[in-house]
Every structure is written in structure tokens, then in C-alpha cells.
Amino acid sequence: IAGITQAPTSQILAAGRRMTLRCTQDMRHNAMYWYRQDLGLGLRLIHYSNTAGTTGKGEVPDGYSVSRANTDDFPLTLASAVPSQTSVYFCARKGPFIYTFGSGTRLTVV
Amino acid sequence: DAKTTQPNSMESNEEEPVHLPCNHSTISGTDYIHWYRQLPSQGPEYVIHGLTSNVNNRMASLAIAEDRKSSTLILHRATLRDAAVYYCIGNTDKLIFGTGTRLQVFP
């Protein structure tokens, strides 16, 4: 089944460390997104990319960066993690009208 | 992006129909109405979407008000597996999630 692959599934990270969350799609759709979901809350958009080579800021971009070197990969980087970035991170891609989400990366910053 | 308003929670018994309301009074004429749901410990999954006409698929039906300021997601026969948070989203460019409606289904 076509979809989104995220890695790692979970990670405990020391504050101040750098971390890259990986996201890969297998349908070569143009638009991809990164969301974070804090416990008991809805998803908030961090960054997005409408096509390879372009990126944009979402609702909560501070402390995060993304790149889109090719169509399939959309990594999210935390340059210097802080405890407030403890969250579940979801990557998504947009097909014709329908968005497909990955299973998420549970990140704990201690 | 349209601001959406949904009840925080709803309850249903198994096998009964469920009507989940959503207000999106600021929606533009070209924004689609999307519904996604999130089961526990999973990413959101697509349920249904529409623009002006009522829509049906194997999961649910979407009834859109004539003025497009509100819509209702209809689960015809709720099952325990339908217990989830349901999100109504009104835009076309990218999904901006609100807080959604937490649906509880009782046996």
C-alpha cells in the first residue's frame, strides 16, 4: 500500500542535541507537510513543501528547518532540541484531494 | 483558511447513526470541506471531502448546507472502531487542524 514512511518510530533526545526526522513517500506527489501533535491536542503545521526545491513556514516553524532536495524525501531537523519540542511528529503528503499521513515519530527531549 | 467550530465530544451507541456537526462560516467559495479522523495512537486518516453537493463513500456521508457555512459528517452505523477524534477542515491549500470532536462509541 502506497504511503508515507517515517523514521525513527520513537526517540529520546538530550536537550541541545541535533536531530533529523526522516520522511519518505513512494508516490512522487509534489506537496508534503510536517505536523506536531502535543498530548491531547490537535495537529499543528510546522513546515510544508509544495514541490521539490521549495519550502514554506506553517503555524509553528520556530526551532525547525526542512529541506526538499527531491520529490520523495522531506526531512525535518531540530538544530538544538529543547524540552518544549517533545511531541509526536507526523509527516504527510497530498495526493489528488487526499492527504496521507505517516505513523508518526514520538520524540522526547530531556 | 476557514475557521471551523466543532463540539468537543459526542457519544453514540454501537449500530446507531452519528451526526457530527461542523460550522465553517468563513469558508471561501473555492475551499473544499475535508473530514479526517484520528484513531488512538495513529496518524490522521481521510474520511471524506466535498465542495457543494452531498457526498457518499464507503465510510461516511457528508451533508453540506446550501450556504456552505456548515456541514455534517454522518456515520450511518457506528462501530467501536469508529471511536476517534474527527476533524473538519475547510481549505484547499493545506490542512490546518482545529481541536476536533472526540467520538465515543459504547457497546
User: Could you say which of B42, B45, B97 has the minimum Cβ distance to residue A42?
Assistant: B97
Inter-chain residue contact B46 with A100, CB threshold 8 Å: yes
- Confidence (pLDDT) at A41: 86
Tell me the C-alpha distance between A18 and A81, whole Å. 6
- Best residue of A4, A36, A43 to probe chain B, by most B CBs closer than 10 Å: A43
Local confidence pLDDT in tens for the 110 residues of chain A: 558 999 999 999 999 999 999 999 988 888 999 999 998 888 999 999 999 999 999 999 999 999 999 999 999 999 999 999 999 999 999 988 889 999 999 999 99
Residue B32 C-alpha, separation from nearest chain A C-alpha, in angstroms: 9
For the stretch B52-69, pLDDT in tens is 889 999 999 999 999 999
Residue B44 touches chain A, beta carbons under 8 Å: yes
User: Could you say which of B32, B46, B87 has the minimum Cβ distance to residue A42?
Assistant: B87
3-state secondary structure of A107: strand
CB B101 within 8 A of CB B9: yes
- Least Cα distance to A85 among A68, A104, A103, A61 occurs for A61
- Confidence (pLDDT) at B63: 96
Cell of A25: 513517500
CB count, 10 Å around CB of B39? 13
- Confidence (pLDDT) at A110: 97
Mean pLDDT, chain B, rounded, equals 92
Inter-chain residue contact B94 with A97, CB threshold 8 Å: no
- Confidence (pLDDT) at A27: 83
For the stretch B19-65, pLDDT in tens is 999 999 888 888 899 999 999 989 999 999 999 889 999 999 999 99
Inter-chain residue contact A100 with B32, CB threshold 8 Å: no
